[in-house]
Amino acid sequence: MTKISRNDPCWCGSGKKYKKCHMESDLQNVTHPPASMKPPKGIKIKTPEQIEGIRRSCRLTSEILDMVASQIREGITTDEINTWVHEYTIKHGAKPAPLHYNGYPKSVCTSINNVICHGIPDDTVLKDGDIINVDVTCILEGYYGDASRMFMIGSPSPVARRLVDVSLECMKLGIAEVRPYTDFGRIGHVIEKHAADNGFSVVRDYGGHGIGINFHEEPHVHHYDVGYRGLAMFPGMIFTIEPMINQGKYQTRLLADDWTAVTADGLLSAQWEHTLCVTENGVEILTA
């Protein structure tokens, strides 16, 4: 079945919109794949050896974020965070993947308040009430690990705290849908529903991605509801889930540096990210 949007006519010919007909049943998990179901072309199915290498890189990525968590506080600059991440990464025999990637000038992304993603570290000082996403990707022995976490500085507003919490819940709900032969559309379906139920929106211009051998691989992972994609998960697939949840509208704006993405309405945004491996029975969170 080809990709179908929620407002398209249903494939069954009923004349109803897809969302009113077969969408829910199509999005349910497939526990036994048909014999014709094969891994999609262009998506790398990792070998056990590759998975172990990616697992080691993801473990280091998680350790780097633990280190940041132990030191981040009011009064430090995002450039200081960049120095911590860069030095820790190099010390442990790895390379920071963002550095010089398509011209990106730093070793980590630091996205504060209304910055959605790809914020460039500089002399900005963290102040009481800020929320900040720190996004770390390292390359260890040729393998990539990618994760990000939110940090709350001092005493953020109630809405900021709720946004951080809901964005974490959205990621966890998306991860809970990862298992063999499930359609990738499940991920965005549950994430957008939970965000909307809490009065928030999901960024559409950026999403998760395959990773492991390269920084960005197929497939693209939608965090909003695109319906049934006709794209199934298979054991050995490795990709990120990293929903960006906005306080206001989902639209984005790119700053003049061609990297920093901010909310179009100036309101807050929050994001969490893990790298995941589809297993024979479910999912392994490699950056846990």
* pLDDT one-digit tens code per residue, 86-106: 999 999 999 999 999 999 999
The predicted structure's pLDDT at residue 148:
98
Half-sphere exposure of 180 (CA within 13 A, CB side): 15
Peptide bond connecting 34 to the previous residue in cis, omega within 30 degrees of 0? no
Q: How far is CA 262 from CA 122, 203, 245, 250, in A?
A: 16, 10, 12, 10
Note the pLDDT of residue 49: 98
pLDDT of residue 6: 73
Query: What letter represents residue 178's amino acid?
Result: V
User: Cα(36)–Cα(5) distance, rounded to whole angstroms?
Assistant: 23
The one-letter amino acid at 172: K
CA distance 74 to 29: 45
pLDDT of residue 41: 85
Note the pLDDT of residue 125.
Answer: 98
- Which residue has tokens 């590759």? 50
pLDDT of residue 23: 67
Please give the structure tokens belonging to residue 152.
């709350």
Per the listing, tokens 């009065």 go with: 199
What is the rounded CA–CA span in Å between residue 174 and residue 187?
5
Query: Taken in order 44, 48, 54, 55, is the CA torsion positive or negative?
Result: positive
C-alpha span between 53 and 34 (Å, rounded): 31
pLDDT for the residue 9: 79
Question: Which among 271, 272, 148, 276 is positioned nearest to 212, based on CA atoms?
Answer: 276
pLDDT at 115: 98
* Domains in the chain with CATH codes: 41-285 (3.90.230.10)
Of the candidates 46, 62, 84, 212, the one whose C-alpha atom is nearest the C-alpha of residue 141 is 212
Instruction: Give the β-pairing of 244-246 and 269-271.
Output: antiparallel
**What does the H/E/C string look like for 144-192?**
EEEEEEEEECCCCCHHHHHHHHHHHHHHHHHHHCCCCCCECHHHHHHHH
Place of tokens 């407002």: 7
> What sign for the dihedral angle of Cα 205, 209, 214, 218?
negative
246 close to 83: Cβ distance less than 8 angstroms: no
pLDDT in the model for residue 33: 60
CA angle 143-53-37, nearest 5°? 90
Handedness of CA 108, 209, 21, 179 (dihedral sign): negative
221-235 burial, b at 16+ Cβ within 10 Å, e below that, comes to bbbbbbbbbebbbbb
Supply the pLDDT for residue 208: 98
Q: Can you give the pLDDT at residue 38? A: 77
Does the predicted TM-score (pTM) go above 0.85?
Answer: yes
Per-residue pLDDT 10s for the chain (288 aa) are 445 677 877 655 667 787 776 666 566 555 556 556 678 888 999 999 999 999 999 999 999 999 999 999 999 999 999 999 999 999 999 999 999 999 999 999 999 999 999 999 999 999 999 999 999 999 999 999 999 999 999 999 999 999 999 999 999 999 999 999 999 999 999 999 999 999 999 999 999 999 999 999 999 999 999 998 989 999 999 999 999 999 999 999 999 999 999 999 999 999 999 999 999 999 999 999
